Amino acid sequence: MTGDLPVQPQPFAPAAERLGISQRRLLAILKRLQKEGYIRRFGATLRHRNSGFSANAMAVWKVPEERIEAVGKIMSSFREVTHCYHRRPSGRWDYNLFTMIHGPGEEACRKIAERISQKTGIKEYDLLFSSRELKKTTMRYFQDD
């Protein structure tokens, strides 16, 4: 079950019908697959631009290696942060923690980054604002071509 579900009172009904089973049976199967670890989670994807969050910035941070776990946890706790990744610096690029910040505008993203900086004590960072979305898809597994 990847991709969008229809926005309707019974969003699993079309899939159950395609499979020739009841919606109740489909939901039982999905719950079992999730319990057994085959399905990690069900979640909603917010299309942020349609929701008034027109700006996003990849914030890049220079964090001492021994503080990565603690700082990453703090940064991840901000509701405006949707992604938080630790990556090894390349030598020419010293940043090692990356967060995606969403806000209603660039100034809001800057203020969020300032709050994150104050809370973590990390002062060396930069914001890379998106200028254009070239591709955005949901990962799809086990799809026929």
Contact 117, 68 (CB under 8 A): no
Quick check: 57 pLDDT over 70?
yes
Fold of 48-129: Alpha-Beta Plaits (3.30.70)
Question: For residues 107 and 44, is the Cβ–Cβ distance under 8 A?
Answer: no
Q: What pLDDT is recorded for position 91?
A: 83
Read off the pLDDT of residues 89-124 as tens digits, 9 standing for 90 and up. 988 899 999 999 999 999 999 999 999 999 999 999
Is-above-0.85 flag for pTM?
no
Cα separation, 113 vs 117, whole angstroms:
6
15 or 140: whose pLDDT is higher?
15
**Chain segment 72-91, per-residue pLDDT in tens:** 999 999 999 999 999 999 88
DSSP state of 114: H
Block residue for tokens 């079309």: 14
Q: Do the Cβ atoms of 121 and 64 come closer than 8 Å?
A: no
Greater model confidence, 28 or 131: 28
CB-based contact 138:2 (threshold 8 Å): yes
Q: Which amino acid is at 144?
A: D
More confident call, 106 vs 131:
106
pLDDT(48) > 80? no
DSSP-assigned letters across all residues of 17-82: HHHTS-HHHHHHHHHHHHHTTSS--------GGGGT--EEEEEEE---GGGHHHHHHHHHTSTTEE
pLDDT at residue 142 greater than cutoff 80: no
Question: For residue 63, which of 124, 9, 142 has the smallest C-alpha distance?
Answer: 124
Q: How confident is the model at residue 51, as a pLDDT?
A: 58
HSE (CB half, 13 Å, CA atoms) of 47?
6
Tokens of 122: 């990390």
Q: What percent of the chain has pLDDT over 70?
A: 84
